[in-house]
Amino acid sequence: MIFNYPNGKAYTNNSSLAKQPASNHRYSNRGMSLEEDINLTNQYYLQENIAVIHKKPTPVQIVDVHYPQRSRAVIKEAYFKQASTTDYNGVYKGKYIDFEAKETKNKTSFPLQNIHQHQINHMESVVNHNGIAFMIIQFTSLEEVYFLPAIEIFPFWERKLSGGRKSITIDEIRINATKIELGYHPRIDYIKVIKNMY
């Protein structure tokens, strides 16, 4: 199936790379992607009445459908109607929560090419309205997950726009972010970080 962005550029799904098992993942979550871990965490938060956080749906316009049989339609081509903002949003104790989740196999830095200007603009708007905006970054080869507040991302983005480094080093992540220890239930307890931070 072919998906295209609003500008006509083809979308490439790299989720199969993200779902490859880590070498020694703890807590029986081998092969789980960051998105799957966060979705399970959000289900736990909802069931335990801790927070209501959901993955944002991406609006898609279907343009070509193949009907091999009347009851078995196959989508052949579709377009993203608009550029997405961030991956997740919701509410925790009256506070608006909005965040992006990213994985990288890089051991030494997080490439800023994984973020887009419209996402930075969106996170700035959320922060300006007293919402809580952040990124969850997973270094898959290191088996480390970090909570990086949006206000800590902005200076690195400005550095990139000014012709500087186009990534955030792992040392800069460790200084400016909070490490989230992987657990079982919930898997990635980012609300615990929010409790301590806000």
Contact 141, 110 (CB under 8 A): no
The widest CA-to-CA distance across the chain, in whole angstroms, is 57
Poorest-pLDDT segment among 27-31, 119-123, 159-163 = 27-31
Contact 126, 133 (CB under 8 A): yes
Question: Which CATH number does 31-58+84-197 carry?
Answer: 3.40.1350.10
Residue matched to tokens 């080869």:
141
Q: What is the mean pLDDT of residues 86-114?
A: 96
The CA distances from residue 2 to 7, 70, 72, 82, in Å, are 14, 22, 18, 16
- Locate 90 and state its tokens: 């919701």
What is the average pLDDT value for the chain, to the nearest integer? 84
Strand 132-139 relative to strand 167-169: parallel, antiparallel, unpaired? unpaired
Amino acid sitting at position 88 = Y
Q: Extract the annotated binding site for Mg(2+).
A: 85, 87, 100, 119
H or E stretch at 124: helix 117-128
Poorest-pLDDT segment among 9-13, 24-28, 65-69 = 24-28
Residue matched to tokens 């909570």:
147
- Locate 108 and state its tokens: 């030494």
Q: Is 122 left (phi over 0), alpha (psi -120 to 50) or beta?
A: alpha
Domain positions in the chain are 31-58+84-197
Residue 59's pLDDT is 57
Poorest-pLDDT segment among 73-87, 109-123, 134-148 = 73-87
H or E stretch at 145: strand 144-149
Residue 74's pLDDT is 76
Q: Extract the annotated binding site.
A: 85, 87, 100, 119
